[in-house]
Amino acid sequence: MWLVTGGAGYIGAHVVRALLADGQRVVVADDLSDGLVARVPDGVQLNIVSVLETEALAQVMTDLGVEGVVHLAAKKAAGDSVDQPIYYHQQNTGGVLSLLTAMEMAGVAKLVYSSSAAVYGEPVDDRPLTEDSRTSPTNPYGSSKLIGEMMIRDCAPALGLSWAALRYFNVAGCGADELSDTSANNLIPMLLRAHVAGRPGQIFGTDYPTPDGTCIRDYIHVVDLAEAHVAACRLVSGDLSAAPDPALRPPSAPGQAAGQAPGQAPADSARVGAILNIGTGRGSSVREVIDSVSRALGAPLAVEESPRRPGDPSMVQADPTRAAEVLGWRSHYDLDDMTSSAVSGLTWLSATGRI
């Protein structure tokens, strides 16, 4: 049984469905501060509880026989984190500490942690980021995610944890209209919401050191991301034989536990500790995203230029090689797939009065 914290959220709902499609048993814990009850599938128990409620969370794990946790519950707006650093560390950093305590209380020893490319901060050059790249977050959101990774790594030996931290890049698109991203902070939904309201979309910064002056990001389809979580659940469960694309998985190096990421020292042969980038390896600028959204809409998208937002790096692009090697996972969808599914979802949200 897998407990998905934040399972009523945009990403969490996709992960829940992907786990169910994989034949896993799933329960959800969500405080519904950002999640929606309608996103939780019929037959999946929703426990309305905050990840900060340690004892209640431990009780859910104990009562339901939870064996592993996928931890997605967190606040994620980089700009907001600059304005509210205490709140972000309370929710994100405090949330990981509370979760680890609850897992210890309930005897749960498998964890997949949703981290972020925000841990890297401003890259030192234009090369794609690897898991060994410097980590120097430029905002409290990124710092909270990096501290979460460190806490998990530090606690794993004492708790006997088998764990994986997925540093995912910019998530977009949807796997079903009713699972659309309703966030006001992500670029594609921001552009689409402005379009529906008859306002121009915003380009935040046009003076970055990039080919067209706008930020470059590695966009990953949420369905691809959900599949990466499923593969990570298999990894920490020792079920590597079931992973997709097994031909991508090389033999373990001498002294390396099967499925263990390079550079991660095993405490014993039964445990896994891995940090993995989840992205496409292809960067797209804000203007390129606008062009893709325009193609999906079938008409040019009106935009206007605004100053940079605080805490936004100029270029963040993944090298997902290690995820392919360790998880047997790779992305399948491109930017146009993301924007076309987002437009379809927006149409549904608008028609049903949800925006």
Catalytic residues: 141
- Compute the half-sphere exposure of residue 261: CA atoms within 13 Å on the CB side of its CA: 24
Q: CA 137, CA 118: separation in Å to the nearest integer?
A: 6
Q: Which residues contact 171 (CB under 8 A, 6 or more apart)?
A: 10, 11, 181, 186, 219, 220, 221, 222, 225
Report the distance separating Cα 302 and Cα 198, nearest Å.
Answer: 9
Cβ contact 163:156 at 8 Å: yes
Q: DSSP assignment, residue 63? A: H
Q: Tally the residues of the chain.
A: 355
The answer to whether 148 touches 93, Cβ cutoff 8 Å, is yes
Classify the C-alpha dihedral 67-38-34-312 as positive or negative: positive
Cα(280)–Cα(224) distance, rounded to whole angstroms? Answer: 9
The residue among 139, 295, 289, 297 whose CA lies nearest residue 202 is 289
What does residue 172 show for φ and ψ, rounded to 5 degrees? -150, 170
Q: Which long-range contacts (CB under 8 A, 24 or more apart) does 257-261 make?
A: 259/235, 259/326, 260/326, 261/131, 261/322, 261/326
SS3 309: coil
